[in-house]
Chains A and B, each alone.
Chain A
Amino acid sequence: MAMQGKAVRVTTYFNEMFQDGEVRIPYSRLEGWTKRMPDALRHMKQAEAEALFRRIGITFAVYGEGGDPDRLIPFDMFPRVFTAAEWARLERGIKQRARALNAFLVDVYGRGEIVRAGRIPAHLVYRNAAFEKSVVGFVPPKGVYSHIVGIDLVRTGADEFFVLEDNCRTPSGVSYMLENREIMMRMFPDLFRENRIEPVDNYPLLLRRTLASVAPAKCKGDPTIVILTPGHFNSAYYEHSFLADLMGVELVEGQDLFVEGEYVWMRTTEGPKRVDVIYRRIDDAYIDPLCFRPDSMLGVPGLMDVYRSGGVNICSCPGAGVADDKAVYTFVPEMIRFYLGEEPILNNVPTWQCAKEDDRKYVLENLKDLVVKEVHGSGGYGMLVGPKSTRDQIERFHARISEDPGNYIAQPTLALSTTPTFVDEGIAPRHVDLRPYCLVGERVELVPGGLTRVALTEGSLVVNSSQGGGVKDTWVLAE
C-alpha cells in the first residue's frame, strides 16, 4: 500500500484516544486496563501472544529479503477502537464506494457511458495496463467484478477520514483481522466482558455466502467453491489456507484444476469434480497461460474460455484492476455521483492534476507544503515530500513538473492519526491506517472491523509489514 513518504507536518496529529486532554469515550475503559497492567505482566502477555502466533503458524515472508522465512508480523496488544456512530458512517461510505467501483467496471467493459459522458478521460480507462480486453462485452454473474474490495483509509480528525486507495483485485490481510481478535479474546477475556465489541468472526461465512451468490449461470444447485493459490512458497499462503479452512472449501493450485468440455474440474481422490466459483489469489497475468502469460505455471489453460462462456466464475473477475489504478482513483467520487446519484460519504485525498492549468499553478506555488507523485510511479519513487525537502530538491521538481505536467499529481501532506501503542518504554502514540474488507455479491456486506496497521517506529508513517509495521485488533463498539 502506498503509504511511504506521506509527509509529516509537524503539527498536532489527531490522537484517537485523547481529545482536549480528555480520554475519548471509546477508549475510556482501556485507560483503566493499562493502569492495572504492570510492565512484567505486559511483557509476559506479549510473549504469550507471540507464542500463539507462532504455534498457529501465522508468519509472513518478504520476497527478496532473505532471512527467516517464518517471520512473525509484530502484534500490538493495544486495540484500536471505533464507536458505533463512527463506524456507521464509515460503513455507509465503504459500501457506497464498493458499489460505485463495481458499477464502473461493468460500465467500462460494456457501453462505457461514463467515458461517453466525458466524466473520465477515455485514455485513462482504455489505455490502462490493467484494462483487460479479453472480457470486453462480458457481464459477470450479478454484475459484480470485484467481490472483495479492500479500501485503505486514514484518519486525520474526529470526523475526518480519507481514502488512500482502493484494492479491487485480491486484497490480503484479512486473516490478521480474524487472528488478532482471536488472540485478544484468548488473552484478555475481561476486556471483552467490559466492552461491548462487535464480533468479526462471521467473515468467512459471509465470504462463502458472497462467493456462492455469484455462481455462474450453468451451475445448478449448491456451487462448489475453491480458493486458487500460487502455492506454499507464496508469502500469503497462510492466509489462503486459513480462509479455505474456515470456509470449508478446497485450497487448490493451478495443477489441481483442468478444463474439459465447458467446465473446470479439480482432481480429487474420487475423480474429477466440477468447480463453479474460483476465489483466486493469483494475479490476472497468471490465471490462464493460453490467454495471458504463456510461461505461467500457476494458472489453468483454457480457464478464460470457460469463464466467458459462463461455466465458472472467477473472483475477483479478470480486469477488475482497472478500477483501483492510481490515475483512476481520482475519479471515484465522480463514479459515485454518476452511477449512484449520491454524494461521496468518504473523501479522496484532494488531488491536484498538474495537467490542468489551474491545478498546476497552485501546485507550483505551494510545492513546499505538498506531496508530488508521478502518475505511474509506485513504492515512493519519483516523489517529492514538500515539507521534508530542501530548497534545491523543490526547485528541481519545479522544473520537472513544468516540463512534463501530465506526469504529476500533487496532494496535501496528511496528518495521520495516532493511537496508543505498547513500546519498550511504555505506551506511546504511533500512526495507524485501516483496511476494511467489503464483500460484494448479491448483497453488499461489511463486518464491523478491519485490519489496523501501525507504524511501530517513532514518527514513522510507514505501516507496511515489510518495513517494520505491525498490526492491532480493531474494535467497533456496539450501540
Chain B
Amino acid sequence: MLSRTADNLFWIARYMERAETMARLLEVGARISLLPSVHGYRSEWDSLLQASGTADGFDRKYAEPVARNIESYLFFDHDNPSSVASCLRQARENGRIVRTALTTQVWDALNTAFQELKQLERQPRSELELTQLTDWVTRHAAMVRGSIGATLLRNDGYDFLNLGYCLERADATARLLDVKYYVLLPRVEFVGSGLDNYQWMTLLRALSLHRAFHWTYAGEITARKIADFLILNPQSPRSLVTSVEGINHALHRLGRAYGRETVAQVRGRQLNDMLERVTVEDIFDEGMHEFLTRFIGDVATLGYHVWESYLTGDVR
C-alpha cells in the first residue's frame, strides 16, 4: 500500500476520534459548569482548553473563557485545527483522497457528516443546544466506525485505520482523566468531597461509561476505582490498556502481513508490558498527573515510530 494512502487512512481515524473527544470534552465542561460555583477554584472551562491543548489558540482569538466562546472555538472554529468542524472536514478530505480505499458505506458516512455539518454551520447558534451537538457528533462518529467494521476489507488499510483510532483514543482518555484529576481539583481538600464525586460522574457520563462503571464496580465512586477502570481494566472500552491492546493488535497484523517487524512493534509491546505490570498503587505513588503525562509522551513516541516505519516509505 502506498505510504500516503496509509497516512490518509490513519488520519481519517484520528480526526474522527478527535472530533468525538472534543465533543465529549465540551459535554464535561457544560455539565460541570451547571454546578453552583465554588469560590476559590479555577474556571473549569479554562481547564478544558488546557486539556485539549487549545488554550494558546483560544487566548489569541478570544478574551473571555466563557461558555459561548469556548463552544464556538471547540466546535465550529476553522482556525482551531482540533475543533469538531475542522476534524470532520479533514476526515472527509482525507477520505476523498483515498476514496478508492474505502467502501461506499464508509464514504457515505464520512460525507453525510460533512454535509450535515455544513447545514449546522448555517443555522443560528442560538437554536443549537450543546447536548444536541455532542450527540450529533457521537452519532456520526459511530456511523463511520460502524461502516468501517461492517464493510471494509480486513487488509493493511483496515489496520492503519484501527491504529489511528486506538492511538488517538489512548491519548484522549489520558487527557480527559488528566483534566479531572489534575486541573479540575487542584486542592487536596476537595478530594473525596461531593464536588469530587460529581466531577467523576460527569467524566464517566461524558465517556458514556457511567453505567458500565456501576456494573463493574458496585458502590462508592473512588479515585482508585476510576483509575483502575480508565487505565487498567481491559473490560473498559476506552481504558488505556484496551487502547494499547488495540494498537498492538493492529501492529501485530501489519508485522505479519508484511513479514517484517519494526521499532513500532517493539515500542508497542513495551507500552503494553508496562500497563500489565503497573498497579493502581504504583500510579498513585508516582502521581496520577505524572503517570498520565509520561503515558501521553509514550503514545506520541509510538505514533512517531509508526510514521517513520510505515508512512514515509523510506524504511527498507
Query: Which A residues lie at the B interface, using CB under 8 A?
Result: 55, 57, 232, 241-242, 244-245, 250-253, 255-256, 266-272
Q: Are B4 and A271 in contact, with the CB atoms below 8 A? A: no
**Closest chain B residue to A54, Cβ basis:** B111
Q: Across the interface, which residues of B come within 8 angstroms of A232, CB to CB? A: 93, 96-97
Q: Across the interface, which residues of A come within 8 angstroms of B11, CB to CB? A: none
Q: Are B100 and A269 in contact, with the CB atoms below 8 A? A: no
**Cα(A255)–Cα(B315), bound, Å:** 16
**Cα(A109)–Cα(B97), bound, Å:** 37
State the main secondary structure of chain A at its contact with B.
mixed
Q: Are B315 and A271 in contact, with the CB atoms below 8 A? A: yes
B316 at the interface (CB under 8 A from A): yes
Q: Contact size class for B?
A: 20 to 34
**Cα(A13)–Cα(B311), bound, Å:** 58
Q: Are A256 and B108 in contact, with the CB atoms below 8 A? A: no
State which of B2, B315, B316 has its C-beta within 8 Å of the C-beta of A256.
Answer: B2
The 6 closest A-B CB pairs, nearest first, are A267-B313, A245-B100, A271-B316, A267-B3, A269-B310, A232-B97
* Also in contact, A256 and B97, with CB within 8 A (given A55-B104, A266-B2, A269-B3): no
**Closest chain B residue to A240, Cβ basis:** B100
Smallest Cβ distance from B276 to chain A, in angstroms? 28
B107 at the interface (CB under 8 A from A): yes
State the main secondary structure of chain B at its contact with A.
helix
Query: Which B residues lie at the A interface, using CB under 8 A?
Result: 1-6, 93, 96-97, 99-100, 104, 107-108, 156, 160, 254, 258, 260, 310-316
Smallest Cβ distance from B251 to chain A, in angstroms? 12
**Cα(A267)–Cα(B7), bound, Å:** 11
State which of B93, B107, B108, B312 has its C-beta within 8 Å of the C-beta of A267.
Answer: B312
Q: Across the interface, which residues of A come within 8 angstroms of B93, CB to CB? A: 232
Q: Are A255 and B4 in contact, with the CB atoms below 8 A? A: yes
Q: Are A256 and B313 in contact, with the CB atoms below 8 A? A: yes
Q: Across the interface, which residues of B come within 8 angstroms of A253, CB to CB? A: 4
**Cα(A272)–Cα(B137), bound, Å:** 38
20 A-B contacts, Cβ less than 8 Å apart? A55-B108, A232-B96, A244-B100, A245-B100, A250-B2, A251-B2, A253-B4, A256-B2, A256-B4, A256-B313, A267-B2, A267-B4, A268-B2, A268-B3, A269-B1, A269-B258, A271-B313, A271-B314, A271-B315, A272-B314
**Closest chain A residue to B260, Cβ basis:** A270
Q: Across the interface, which residues of B come within 8 angstroms of A242, CB to CB? A: 100
Smallest Cβ distance from B12 to chain A, in angstroms? 14
Q: Are A269 and B311 in contact, with the CB atoms below 8 A? A: yes
Q: Across the interface, which residues of A come within 8 angstroms of B260, CB to CB? A: 270
Q: Across the interface, which residues of A come within 8 angstroms of B100, CB to CB? A: 241-242, 244-245, 251
**Cα(A251)–Cα(B4), bound, Å:** 10
Smallest Cβ distance from B192 to chain A, in angstroms? 49
Q: Across the interface, which residues of A come within 8 angstroms of B108, CB to CB? A: 55
**Closest chain B residue to A229, Cβ basis:** B97
Smallest Cβ distance from A208 to chain B, in angstroms? 15
**Cα(A250)–Cα(B8), bound, Å:** 14
**Closest chain A residue to B309, Cβ basis:** A269
**Closest chain B residue to A56, Cβ basis:** B104
Q: Are A272 and B316 in contact, with the CB atoms below 8 A? A: yes
Interface centre among B1, B2, B96 (most CB of A within 10 A): B2
**Cα(A266)–Cα(B5), bound, Å:** 12
**Cα(A213)–Cα(B292), bound, Å:** 58
Q: Across the interface, which residues of A come within 8 angstroms of B156, CB to CB? A: 269
With A251-B100, A268-B3, A269-B1 known, 12 other A-B pairs at CB within 8 A are A57-B96, A57-B107, A232-B97, A250-B2, A253-B4, A255-B4, A267-B2, A267-B4, A269-B311, A270-B258, A272-B314, A272-B316
Q: Across the interface, which residues of A come within 8 angstroms of B3, CB to CB? A: 256, 267-269
Q: Across the interface, which residues of A come within 8 angstroms of B6, CB to CB? A: 269
Smallest Cβ distance from A254 to chain B, in angstroms? 11
Q: Across the interface, which residues of A come within 8 angstroms of B314, CB to CB? A: 267, 271-272
State which of A57, A241, A266 has its C-beta within 8 Å of the C-beta of B313.
Answer: A266
**Cα(A255)–Cα(B313), bound, Å:** 11
**Cα(A242)–Cα(B96), bound, Å:** 12
Q: Are B99 and A269 in contact, with the CB atoms below 8 A? A: no
**Cα(A244)–Cα(B5), bound, Å:** 13
Q: Across the interface, which residues of B come within 8 angstroms of A269, CB to CB? A: 1-3, 6, 156, 160, 254, 258, 310-311, 313
**Cα(A149)–Cα(B311), bound, Å:** 36
**Cα(A256)–Cα(B254), bound, Å:** 21
Interface centre among B100, B107, B156, B315 (most CB of A within 10 A): B100
**Cα(A232)–Cα(B99), bound, Å:** 10
Q: Are A268 and B313 in contact, with the CB atoms below 8 A? A: yes
Smallest Cβ distance from A45 to chain B, in angstroms? 21
* Also in contact, A57 and B99, with CB within 8 A (given A268-B3, A270-B258): yes
**Closest chain A residue to B4, Cβ basis:** A256
Q: Across the interface, which residues of B come within 8 angstroms of A256, CB to CB? A: 2-4, 313
**Cα(A252)–Cα(B5), bound, Å:** 9
Interface centre among A57, A251, A267 (most CB of B within 10 A): A267
Q: Are B2 and A272 in contact, with the CB atoms below 8 A? A: no
Q: Are A241 and B104 in contact, with the CB atoms below 8 A? A: no
**Cα(A253)–Cα(B4), bound, Å:** 9
**Cα(A271)–Cα(B314), bound, Å:** 6
**Closest chain B residue to A258, Cβ basis:** B313
Q: Across the interface, which residues of B come within 8 angstroms of A271, CB to CB? A: 313-316
Q: Across the interface, which residues of B come within 8 angstroms of A252, CB to CB? A: 2, 4
Q: Across the interface, which residues of A come within 8 angstroms of B316, CB to CB? A: 271-272
**Closest chain B residue to A267, Cβ basis:** B313
**Cα(A62)–Cα(B96), bound, Å:** 18
Q: Are B99 and A268 in contact, with the CB atoms below 8 A? A: no
Q: Across the interface, which residues of B come within 8 angstroms of A57, CB to CB? A: 96, 99, 107
Smallest Cβ distance from A375 to chain B, in angstroms? 41
**Cα(A185)–Cα(B34), bound, Å:** 58
**Closest chain A residue to B101, Cβ basis:** A245
Smallest Cβ distance from A240 to chain B, in angstroms? 10
Q: Are A268 and B1 in contact, with the CB atoms below 8 A? A: yes
**Closest chain A residue to B314, Cβ basis:** A267
Q: Across the interface, which residues of A come within 8 angstroms of B5, CB to CB? A: 250
**Closest chain A residue to B1, Cβ basis:** A269
Smallest Cβ distance from B309 to chain A, in angstroms? 8
**Cα(A266)–Cα(B310), bound, Å:** 13
**Cα(A55)–Cα(B1), bound, Å:** 25
Smallest Cβ distance from A236 to chain B, in angstroms? 14
Q: Across the interface, which residues of A come within 8 angstroms of B104, CB to CB? A: 55
**Closest chain A residue to B259, Cβ basis:** A270
Smallest Cβ distance from A267 to chain B, in angstroms? 2
**Closest chain A residue to B313, Cβ basis:** A267
Interface centre among A245, A251, A252 (most CB of B within 10 A): A251
Q: Across the interface, which residues of B come within 8 angstroms of A241, CB to CB? A: 99-100
**Closest chain B residue to A231, Cβ basis:** B97
**Cα(A269)–Cα(B1), bound, Å:** 6
